[in-house]
Chains A and B, each alone.
Chain A
């Protein structure tokens, strides 16, 4: 079922790609890629995280529509979270790659391919905890009877904060060890923890809401 949800999300992405958002963040971050004060590939990583953050703001869609469809269908909630989470990571990876290519074109050729590899692995290591936090924020938002005025802003700030916090270990690892295998191992560990513990925790959180008196779609 995870594959079905992933395929569904992929078709949605193909039908409604966020080109505008991606274009905007690439352009906004382009000056950073030309700046000598920033590591060459970090602006591309920022683009990917922005796209992911935007996606996670609305992981389950608006409270009365997408989640209702998913709950009414014979779907395991764990599979739903995994399928959506994987697609979010793929979107982030696409955004990072496109931004990286555009920035490289703007800044001229570079032979620092090891830095690009470390950045990419750092991104992969950062994604699972970020997706987990985004899913929990999204679940918290849909399970409230009515959202507050500040809620969208709070969610943006929290997700950006989470991205920064989740990215710190990867950045530290990348800058201290410069070891691609170490970073790849960290990314694999991060992904497996999310798949086994994090996604199940999110599914249980959704189930608890569905058992509560406040549950109504």
Chain B
């Protein structure tokens, strides 16, 4: 079953060309999909549209079969999200922030308490759980974001650059957690520029370029394309070939040479 269906999204900011020009893709249940693209290609705008944070010129978004509008809020109970601008309130502690998200998702008090304790332990935040988030390091803040996004075991998990600032050990633990969530049916959409991690994790790839999905394929197809390009497994090479064919390295600034 399709958890998230994005169809023909068109979005233009005033005075610019269309940043999204008919973006369409599906997120099947239990899949981990990477949404890749260059800076400014529209990845975050796509995520904002899914979360109802921006209006669209046209296009539809359906969550678990129900078409959504920016002002509808009920569908957001099924979604967990990590955005570049975090969804926690930094005057709260990590514990209070996670509990708040649990309450907003109407988890029973006992379940919320148990899951919060487990998440704090998993993300090594137990020792600082009562301190305000604003005192945390950027990596710890990111962990709080991920914890608040998964507390309710969402049907759809949207992660915008989830590994930025997170140490390798924690990142590896999160990879395992995400794989487990996918096997339990959660559809995961992830954006990241860390291609090694993305390739280890994702089963599907959507490459956004020029306002459209220019490549939509499975992990096996990425490997086949890489082989065709003379590379063993390189997602990077497939990506470069797609967004900048025949690419040459730019010469560094002359004052540095």
Contacts between the two chains (Cβ within 8 Å), count: 77
The answer to whether B89 touches A69, judged by C-beta atoms less than 8 angstroms apart, is yes
The answer to whether A11 touches B69, judged by C-beta atoms less than 8 angstroms apart, is no
The answer to whether B104 touches A74, judged by C-beta atoms less than 8 angstroms apart, is yes
Q: Please give, as numbers and ranges, the residues of chain B lying within 8 Å of A15 by CB-CB distance.
A: 91-92, 132
Contact with B along A70-86 (1 / 0, CB 8 A): 01111111000000000
**Which residue from chain B places its CB closest to the CB of A65 in the assembled complex?**
B85
* Option from A11, A75, A212 in Cβ contact (under 8 Å) with B73: A75
In the complex, whether A101 has a CB less than 8 A from a CB of chain B is: no
Q: In the complex where A4-B100, A71-B52, A217-B48 touch, is A211 in contact with B70 (Cβ < 8 A)?
A: yes
Residues of A in contact (CB 8 Å), total: 29
Q: In the complex where A207-B71, A214-B55 touch, is A12 in contact with B100 (Cβ < 8 A)?
A: no
The answer to whether B87 touches A72, judged by C-beta atoms less than 8 angstroms apart, is yes
Q: In the complex where A8-B89, A69-B87, A215-B55 touch, is A76 in contact with B73 (Cβ < 8 A)?
A: yes
The answer to whether B91 touches A16, judged by C-beta atoms less than 8 angstroms apart, is yes
Per the 8 Å Cβ criterion, residues 163-217 of A in contact with B are: 206-207, 210-217
Contact with B along A1-45 (1 / 0, CB 8 A): 100100010011001100000000000000000000000000000
Q: In the complex where A211-B70, A211-B71, A215-B70 touch, is A74 in contact with B76 (Cβ < 8 A)?
A: yes
Q: Please give, as numbers and ranges, the residues of chain A lying within 8 Å of B76 by CB-CB distance.
A: 72-74
In the complex, whether B96 has a CB less than 8 A from a CB of chain A is: yes
DSSP majority for the B interface?
loop
Minimum CB–CB distance from B98 to chain A (whole Å) comes to 13
In the complex, whether B51 has a CB less than 8 A from a CB of chain A is: yes
In the complex, whether B179 has a CB less than 8 A from a CB of chain A is: no
Contact with A along B51-71 (1 / 0, CB 8 A): 111110100000000000111
Minimum CB–CB distance from B191 to chain A (whole Å) comes to 16
**Which residue from chain A places its CB closest to the CB of B76 in the assembled complex?**
A74
Cα A75 to Cα B87 with chains together (Å): 13
Q: Please give, as numbers and ranges, the residues of chain A lying within 8 Å of B101 by CB-CB distance.
A: 73
The answer to whether A72 touches B53, judged by C-beta atoms less than 8 angstroms apart, is yes
Cα A69 to Cα B91 with chains together (Å): 14
Q: Please give, as numbers and ranges, the residues of chain B lying within 8 Å of A12 by CB-CB distance.
A: 89, 91
* Option from B57, B100, B104 in Cβ contact (under 8 Å) with A213: B57
Cα A12 to Cα B88 with chains together (Å): 12
The answer to whether A212 touches B55, judged by C-beta atoms less than 8 angstroms apart, is yes
Most A CB atoms within 10 A — which of B52, B89, B96? B89
**Which residue from chain B places its CB closest to the CB of A216 in the assembled complex?**
B54
Q: Please give, as numbers and ranges, the residues of chain B lying within 8 Å of A206 by CB-CB distance.
A: 71
In the complex, whether B225 has a CB less than 8 A from a CB of chain A is: no
In the complex, whether B83 has a CB less than 8 A from a CB of chain A is: yes
Q: In the complex where A4-B104, A65-B85 touch, is A74 in contact with B55 (Cβ < 8 A)?
A: no
Q: Which 10 interchain pairs have the tightest Cβ spacing?
A: A74-B76, A15-B91, A215-B55, A207-B71, A210-B70, A217-B53, A74-B77, A210-B71, A216-B54, A72-B51
For this complex, 30 residue pairs linking A to B, each with C-beta atoms less than 8 Å apart, are: A1-B104, A4-B103, A11-B92, A11-B96, A15-B91, A15-B132, A64-B85, A69-B87, A69-B88, A72-B52, A72-B76, A72-B81, A73-B73, A73-B87, A73-B101, A73-B104, A74-B73, A74-B104, A74-B105, A75-B104, A77-B73, A145-B14, A211-B55, A211-B70, A213-B55, A213-B57, A215-B70, A216-B48, A216-B55, A217-B54
Besides A71-B52, A77-B73, A210-B55, 9 other CB < 8 A contacts?
A4-B104, A8-B100, A11-B96, A74-B73, A74-B77, A77-B71, A211-B71, A212-B55, A216-B53
